[in-house]
Amino acid sequence: MAHYKTKIRTKDTVKIIAGNHKGETSTVISVNPKKNTAIVENVNLRTHYVKPTREDDKGGMEKKEGPIHLSNLALINPKTKKVARVVMKKDDNGKRQRYDKQTGNPF
């Protein structure tokens, strides 16, 4: 599986566009470019069983976020609060930067 440089980064606000949580907005906790997935806060919760240890006498179940494929996420522009299509361009210093395709403004 080929991985690529993602346009979605940690702490971005995204909208889920497909799946069980379609239409929800939340922030990205982490991104895994090798698997093309991201973990989004309070979305795609999974039950994780924890065994009791000496430090933590109680085990039990805890809820954890599961990964979501990047194709199911759309980036939200923080200025306009709308879904944005992202284009990578070089700025004045020659550094790659994310731009909103419709407005032309950088993120």
Summarised one tens digit per residue, pLDDT across range 39-92 is 999 999 999 998 898 887 888 899 999 999 999 999 999 888 999 999 999 988
CA-to-CA distance for 41 and 22, rounded, in angstroms?
A: 14
For the chain, the straight-line distance linking the first and the last C-alpha, in angstroms and rounded, comes to 29
Helix (H, G, I), strand (E, B) or coil at 57: coil
Q: Which among 73, 95, 69 has a CA at the least distance from the CA of 84?
A: 73
Q: Full-prediction pTM beyond 0.85?
A: no
Q: How far apart are CA 17 and CA 2, in angstroms?
A: 23
Cβ atoms of 73 and 17 within 8 Å: the answer is yes
**pLDDT tens by residue, 15-52:** 999 999 999 999 999 999 999 999 999 999 999 998 89
